[in-house]
Every structure is written in structure tokens, then in C-alpha cells.
Amino acid sequence: DYLIDNFTRLGRSPNDVELMMFAQANSEHCRHKVFNADFVVDGEAKSQSLFQMIRRSTEATPRGVLSAYSDNSAVIEGSVAGRFFPNPTTGLYQEQSEVVHILIKVETHNHPTAISPYPGAATGSGGEIRDEGATGRGAKPKAGLTGYSVSNLRLPGLPQPWEGPQSKPDRIASTLEIMLEGPLGGAGFNNEFGRPALAGYFRTFEMLVPGPRGPEFRGYHKPIMVAGGLGNIRETHVDKGQIPAGAPIVVLGGPALLVGLGGGAASSMASGTSTETLDFASVQRDNAEMQRRCQEVIDRCWEVGDDNPIISIHDIGAGGLSNGLPELVYDSGRGAVFELRKVPNDEPGMSPLEIWCNEAQERYVLAINPARFEHFEGLCQRERCPHALLGRATDDGLLVVNDEHFGNRPIEMPMEVLLGKPPKTLKDVVHEPVDFPPFSLEGIAVEEAVSRVLQLPTVADKSFLITIGDRTITGLVARDQFVGPWQVPVADAAVTTASFDVYSGEAMSMGERTPVALLDASASVRMAVGEALTNIASAPIAAMSDIKLSANWMCAARYPGEDAKLYDAVRAVGAELCPALGLAIPVGKDSLSMRTVWEDGGRQASVTAPLSLIVSAFAKMADARNALTPQLRTDVGPTSLVLIDLGRGQNRLGASALGQVFGQLGQEPPDLDDPGDMKAFFAAIQRLNSLGLLLAYHDRSDGGLATTVIEMAFAGGTGVRLDLDQLRGDSLSLLFNEELGAIIQVRRADLDRLLPVLERFGLGDCSFVVGQPIPDDMVEVWHGGLIFRESRFELRRLWSATTHQMQALRDNPTCAAEEHECRCDPENAGLFAHLTFDPTQDVSAPYVARGHRPAMAILREQGVNGQIEMAAAFHRAGFAAFDVHMSDILEGRVDLDDFVGLAACGGFSYGDVLGAGEGWAKSILFNERARDGFASFFARKDTFALGICNGCQMLSNLSSLIEGCEHWPHFVQNRSERFEARLIMVEVEDSPSILLRGMAGAKLPIAVAHGEGRAEFDEEHLDHVESLIAARYVDHRGVATETFPFNPNGSPNGIAALTSPDGRVTIMMPHPERVFRSIQYSWRPEGWGEDGPWMRLFQNARLWVA
């Protein structure tokens, strides 16, 4: 009716282009009709929409929120830091002290991930990254998070008693396929773009339960794929500018392709209700290297500050240009005229509808300041980033699209028709009560309960999801998922620093308890908020009100009872809990088609997801050095474990991991009963942390107290004794209830200081000393006597079984087996540090003090992403670090004769499509100016060069230009057949390398992150390079190794770094530039100062130049 009325007034019928454009722009995915609807619940008209209740949280606590609900992501207050980037005029990297505000965003990409997991998850991450970059007048993505909810895995090598046979429609991927391929897509995009993935969750749930119409299957055949993160933005760029009439409108990025057509509409439908053709057509494809080029252009724009040429920017996602271009100008009250055939197009056979509405990725649309347009074009050309002028803004409010090919106008309509206000949806819904049988503990033995719960993927080791993602890129990561010398993935929150000169920064965490919604939707969402808070409490945050939340809502709208539960849940969080806690929810998303239906043997089958709220918490943070981890300390004398039980002895088991593995849901789930307790808990943890009383911290969540303590034992490499006698309840309920709370470790001598603090915060009567580490490797539970005793290594074998099986299916199974044995090896002493020099002694200091900074070329090619941290390390060592793009050299703007040093940085030059570093090297070897310039540079005796990761791969392909290096290897795919990101051990060899002088014999942790790091030699060349080996991978005993994962790529003889015979050129796959500060390590020995040991490499360079 809305369209009929409007086109009747226009005196014509809509054409196919306009209808498709309207279908995308006004889909549930884009317009959130349910969240803006009027609700009638059980016959009672409600005064507030869902969105109004969500906004209520920010209206109640607006402090610290700079932008909410009006842009691609929200912006919250950050802290002052020396932001590090190249001078827009000179290219010299420098620090600029300013407020570094934080942008936050979390998206979901559920439908595409169900249909085609790898590209679905990849474009989910890519789209969310674009949302961050397209905030305000341009911003910089910084750190990511990822989450997955799926049905039962049904691993072929690890059948579980709670899993039955699978049934699903043919058109969607199986759960196993989703989890084998989807995480590779999400991680792969983050890796290639250059954003560390630092936090996440993984839940499996599928169960036959009572429903309003009888037994029904609830689960995640349509998965949840969460992609989110945080970034930074300048204060003057937070708000989009007002676009003037006549402003040029540009598309930045890749070409139009016939992919993703109808994605916005398809994702708004229940899986299985659309046609198979639409399902597959609606999935986009990814090209992270192109998006990296776009981001480099955006970075060059915001770096100029007030002269930023970008007035406004919007990413291209659902609906393609048909949604993005109108939204860009409509926000300024403008119309626009566009030329359809100016759209860069790699498929010229596409119709006007397909050109206008396809969802080809890695594109942004921008309104450019006319006076700065030529400058903007120069930036694009330097970064080799495709761009096109599509049209200009107008002041008539009309959307006009001309097609010079057909000589017509496929679109001519008022903007208000497309993006105005169609009639509001009315939701008349009712509750549908369901009776559930009570939880029964009869016949469940503690040993079997522990074994099953530790193997539930929601609880189990998630390393297979983490090592595939780069977690050290940027050099600003202070806390990733891995904890302690054994790198156990149990961190509660991720932490990043605001820059390289401060310890302040950002923290983020996640929380979700979706199965609880089957019993009590309101309890489920309160628990999700509670878990996000108990996770982020591990970071030093000044006040709970500094935390801002993203709320991502999933629901099977129109399914009996679900819409009423959705209203209850949104009210519980948005209108009640968050205002009571002083928390704002300035950003979020909804996906309300979480049901899969199909024909199975002539009958309709379905699986419906529980109502699901995924909460992500973000906050500015005072000092990353004070972030707590679950690693139990065994080096500080006698200690005790204290349980803070926010459930206050209720021990509710409903919808717990224990219930799931024994096929039960129960009746009464845990809940966040008292917001006052949560506020007191958060304040108490912050106070105790500031007093230095806390040695370790881990929140209680999935798997209950048993899992919490066992994970802490894994991280600390110790046995533990758990004593339940002070607690009220039966053993199973005490061990496996998932009430909110935490375990903290404290020196026994400090208990008299700690317990009174908890008392003062009103938590004394729910805090109990429940155990301590013990010197052997056993985990013991006592409750009126010894009720459980098992080896920590056997428990680790159970906990890591899922990750081992997933790695064996996905990666090289031999490597998977080697790593599993390593995890469970009692002889594995973990990471360590053996120093042969004093890292607190700055050998370059006398020369830096003279004030002269030698010129250093920080070299990058398109797709390289590691230049900032490389520049920061050389800047700290006393160099003048300059941003040099290969286009500067090829086009004669920069001459290597002007530099004494060259650092080739890590990343994915040309997307590694020609082999790692191969394309970059060939762009030099096959260009006379570049080849001569590099040959001359290497021949000069006063120069040095360092190649890291992709730069290492590139320089190895230039060995013909470097004297004495003809035997250097090529670098090929890792032995594991997978990208590997880890903190591993290397030993510095006694070699000619000028950069490693005085470091020989040192055995140190270092970051690696690469997919093609295995050094491959011609058979007769390996002996020739023996004297040129600068570093080797070593195992836990400090012995050179080829065993995985100590050697992450399988290089022969443990080779990690090589040098030239004169020592002036060094290449290495590990990343010293990402760990030049101690804070950048996920684990480091106590007592390290500001500089990490690898800072010596950069200081040695300055010393040699002197």
C-alpha cells in the first residue's frame, strides 16, 4: 500500500530496479521494523517500542557516549595518548598527543554463514570492519572479536552421548562444516586486513525440549556468526559533516560483481523459506587486501586533521549501492544525481538492477570536500585504491540515476519515498507458557559429569578457533585469549593500549547465556549482561559506568511465544537492568529470522534457535599492566582460592552445561537477581586489584565452579584442591551451577586484608575460601571427604579433545597430534626466558641523546599491514622512520639513496596470490628503476635492511641483489597447512647479523603470525646457510626443533631467521617489532620493565649506524 500510494502520486509504476532497491532498503535487516514496531502483549498495548527501551539505557547514563544510534558504529570517550602515524606532508612517523576516542560495533552474519560458511564469515568480519572505518568522517579499526552459536558438532572421531543423528536441509551447511570453514573465513579476513582477533565465544546447543505445541527441536541450524570490535577516532571526526549541494560523491574500493544480490532481504527470512537460488545468490565474496587499500586511504584522510577531505562516509553492505548511496546523502537532507555506468564493474553483462543492487564487498561511498578532491585522488593513486566519481549531491531531494548505455533513467524518485517512514508495524503477540520437567541428578557420578562437561564444546578448549587468527598485529595488544607459559585460552577479557607510549587503552569482553531463554527469557539476557561484566571486571576500569554495551538480539520472530519473550527480554535489559547498573547500550543489531524449516521424508521439520542476546562490553582502561588473568601463581608462597558467589547459595542448574550433556534442561535457571550485588562485585574487584591483593581471577560461567578452577589450574600449570565443605548444597549442584561469580587467588597472608574489603562491599556472606593450589599435578575435590581426584594432564586431554579433533580434520593431522601430545606432556615447562644480555641497558642511548635521527625507510606494498608497529620500534630506537610505499619508489617520488636503513614489513602483499612475497619482489625485479635502486642500496656498505614475515619472504626473493645470499630459501606453506599465530620460543644464534649482536645464546618468546613460513631450500643449499642462521625455533627444553607447535611452520633445523654474510641484511619470520614493549607479550616473566628484550634488536641497529 505504501508503494502504491507513493507511485500513484508520482503518476507511474515502479520499475524492477526501484522495486529491488526498495526491497533491500526496507528489509527487516536494514530497517529493523520489529524493533520499531508498536507492541500489544497479551492484549495490553505497550507504550514503548523495543528500540525505545534500548535507547532508555543511554538516556539514563549518557556520560561518555559521544555518538549513538546515528552512525555505522557508536563512539565512546577514550583517553589521551601519543597517537602514532606518518606526517601527512613529510611521511615522517611521529607521535601526536590527543584524546583517542573509542568506536564500538558488533554485527552478525548468520544467513550467509549458514549457506556458505567461509565467505559468509569472512564478509561478516569485513562488513563490520567497514562499519568502523566508515564512522564519522573516517576512523581506524583496531581489534576484533568473533563468536559462533551452532547446533551439535557431531565430530566423526569424537561422538558424544548428548548428540543424536543430524537432520538438516541440503541447502545449508552442517554444523561441522560451519565450524571447520567459517572461522577460517572470519580469521582470514581479519588477518589479511591487519586487525587482531582478541575475544570471542563458541556455543553448541541442540536439544529436544517441551514446546507450546508439543516437543520441538531448539538449536542453531541457522548459526549465529558474530563479528565485532573496537577502533579509534579523532575527536574532530566523530560527527559526519553536512554535505553541500554539488559535493562529489565517490565510490572507493572494488568493482561491482554479481554477488550478494538480495542479501538484505534473504537474511530477513527463516532459513529454508526462500528459494535455493536466492540463498546462494545472497552470499557475498571477500577480498581483504582491497579493503586494506581502502582503509589506507581513509587513514591518510583522517591523519590530516581539520583538512580531512571526507565530509561523510558510508560503507556498502546490505542492498549495495542502492542502499548506501541514498543513505549517505539523505542524512544531510540532500538528493543526488548518479551515473550508473561510472560504477566500476567487472561484469559488464549485468543489468541496471544488478549493477545498482549487488552487494560486492570492500566498497565505501564518500562525500568529498570539493576543494580537497584533487588531494583525495592523489591519496587513492598512491595507495593504488580504485575509486570513481559517481555523481554529485543536489538540493532538490530527488534520487536520480542516469544510464547512458540505454539512454534512460532507471531511477527518478523522491528520497523520502525510499527512506522516509512507511507505516509502523503492529505486533500483537501472546505468551505461550511451557512446562518443563525438574532437573534430576539421580545416577550422575562426579567423574562422568566432569568428563562430559569438559568435552562440551561450549566449555572445552577453543584453541582451534584462536591460533588461526593473528593476535599481535598493530603492536597494541596487551591481552589476548592465551594465558600463561602454557598459553591456555582462558582469558576473560581482551586489552589493547591506546598507543605505544602509554599503558592506558581499551578492554572488551563478551557474555551470553542463550539456553537459559528456553526457561526464562529475562533471566537469560540479564545473565548475558552479568557474564560480560564479570569478564571485563578482570581489566582495571575506573567505574562500571565507563563500560558501554553492544546488544545483538537473535530471535525467531512470529514463532509461538517468541515475540512476547523478546519484548520481556528487551525490557529486562534496556528499561530495567542497565539503567539500574548505570550502563548504556549505544549500539547493537537484531536478526529475527532464527528458524530453519525443511521437508524431511514428506513432513515439515524445523529447528528454532532460543531467543539469544549476545552482549559485548567495551571500556576505556587505566593501566594494562594491572589486567588480571586466570593463571594461578605458585611462586609467591601459600595462597588461597576465594569464591564470590553472586547466586548466594541458590545453585540453580537450569539450562546448564551439566544439564545439556545429560539431556536435561531443568526448570529454574540462574539469574542476576540483584543489580546492587553486581555493582558491589565490580567495585570490590576493582578495589582489591588496585590494592595489589589479587594474584589471579576467573569468572564462573559455562561449566560452573569445577570448570573455573580446572581452567585456572591449566593456566598455572599446577594441581589444585577444592574444598566444598563451607558451601551449602549437594556436590554436583555446587560444582556445576553457573550462577554469576568468580574465583580469586590471594596470598594466604593477605586474607585478613581481603575478606574485610568484601565485607564492606556487602559480599562477605557470599564469599568463601574454597581451596588452594597444591604442589602435585592432581585436581582434588573434597566434600565431606575426597569425592574426585584426577591428573591435570588427563583433564587437559579431555578438555582439549574437541580442539584436537577439529584441528585433525581441518589441518595436517600429524601436526594436530603433535600439539595434543605437547599439551598433555608433564615434561612441557612452557614458555621461558633465558637472557644473555641486560634488556634494561639501552646500548643506543648515547647516540640517541645527540638528537640526530638517521633516516629509516618503513617499506610497504599494497596489502602490507604491519608498518605502524615497525615504525614505532625504530622510532623508539632513535631513527627517523618514514612511510614509504612501493608506488613512491616505482614512480620516482622517493629514492632509497636518502636512507641508511630499510625495513620491509609484514602483511599480505598482493593478497599473497602469487605466493608469499613473490608479487612484491617481482614488482622490484621487473622494474628497472626499482631494481637499480634496491641493488644500489644493498651494495652500499653504510646501509642495513630487515625483512619481517612478508618482508622476509620478499627479501628472500631478492637474494640475487644481495651479495652472498644466493642460497637463501623460498618460504612456502606451513607444515600444519594452516595460518599459525602463536607466542613461541627462539634461540638467537651466534651469527654475523648486526641486529642481533650481543644477543647470542638468548632464548626468548616471540610472536609469529604467518601461513607460509616454512623455509624451503634446494637440497645442496641447506649446508651453505648454516653460518648465516641468525635464530632457531626451540622447544620447551631450549633445543632447536622441527616439532609442531614449537616450530610453527616446519622449517628445517628450526630456522627462524637468516642473515647475509656481512650481517647487514637480516630476514626473519617471527615478529620482534610486535614485542618490543614488555606489555605486548601475552605472557612474560615477572620483573621485565618497559622495554622487552627484543627492543635490543632495534637499538643494535642504531648503535651500528652510529
Helix 801-810 crosses helix 175-193 at what angle (to 10 degrees)?
80
H helices of 541-617, in order, are: 562-570, 578-581
966 noted as active-site residue: no
Helices within 729-800 (DSSP H only): 731-736, 751-760, 792-799
Region at 846 (left for phi over 0; alpha for psi -120 to 50; beta for the rest): alpha
- The residues pairing with 496 across neighbouring beta strands, listed in sequence order, are 477, 506
HEC states along 38-95? EEEECCEECCCCHHHHHHHHHHHCCCCEEECCCCCCEEEEEEEEEEEEECCCCCEEEE
For residue 928 the three cell numbers come to 628497472
Burial class (CB in 10 A: 0-12, 13-18, 19+), 405: exposed
Cα separation, 1078 vs 257, in Å, equals: 46
> Is the C-alpha dihedral spanning 152, 158, 164, 167 positive or negative?
positive
Give the angle 23-278-324 at the CA atoms, nearest 5°.
Answer: 40
Which DSSP category does 363 fall into?
Answer: E
- Taking Cα atoms as reference points, which of 404, 639, 468, 385 lies closest to residue 121? 468
Residue in 651, 777, 640, 630 with CA at minimum distance from that of residue 708: 630
Name the grid cell of 946.
630487515
Catalytic residue among 387, 698, 1036, 1071: 1071
Annotated catalytic residue 949: yes
Q: Give the CA distances from residue 265 to residues 28, 319, 356, 419, 553, in Å, rounded to whole numbers and listed in that order.
A: 7, 8, 15, 16, 18
Give the chain's largest Cα–Cα span: 88
The candidate with the shortest Cα–Cα distance to 669, out of 659, 684, 661, is 659
Task: Tell me if residue 565 falls in helix, strand or coil.
Answer: helix
Catalytic, out of 949, 952, 965, 980? 949
User: Do 1050 and 974 meet the contact criterion of CB atoms below 8 Å apart?
Assistant: yes
Beta-sheet strands, E only, within 404-448:
408-414, 426-429
Query: Is 289 labeled as catalytic in the residue annotation?
Result: no
Decide: 1034 and 987 in contact? Cβ < 8 Å. Answer: yes
List the one residue out of 576, 606, 15, 497 whose CA is nearest residue 273: 606
Do residues 466 and 481 lie in contact, with contact meaning Cβ atoms separated by under 8 Å? yes
Spatial separation of the C-alpha atoms in residues 989 and 1028, rounded to whole Å: 9
> How far is residue 428's CA from residue 408's CA, in Å, rounded to a whole number?
45
Asked whether 417 and 6 are in contact (CB, 8 A), the reply is yes
Reported as type and span, the H/E element at residue 650 is none
DSSP code per residue over 291-310: HHHHHHHHHHHHTTGGG-SE
Peptide bond preceding 1045 in cis form (omega within 30 of 0) = yes
Report yes or no: 465 and 1066 within 8 Å, Cβ to Cβ. no
Contacts of 997 (CB under 8 A, 6+ apart): 1100, 1103, 1104
Which one of the listed residues 383, 861, 1012, 1073 is annotated catalytic?
Answer: 1073
Q: Which residues contact 50 (CB under 8 A, 6 or more apart)?
A: 34, 35, 36, 37, 39, 566, 567, 570, 574
Q: What is d(CA 930, CA 895) in angstroms, rounded to the nearest whole number?
A: 9
- Residue given cell 563478551 in the structure block: 510
d(CA 1035, CA 1046): 5
Catalytic residue IDs? 949, 1071, 1073
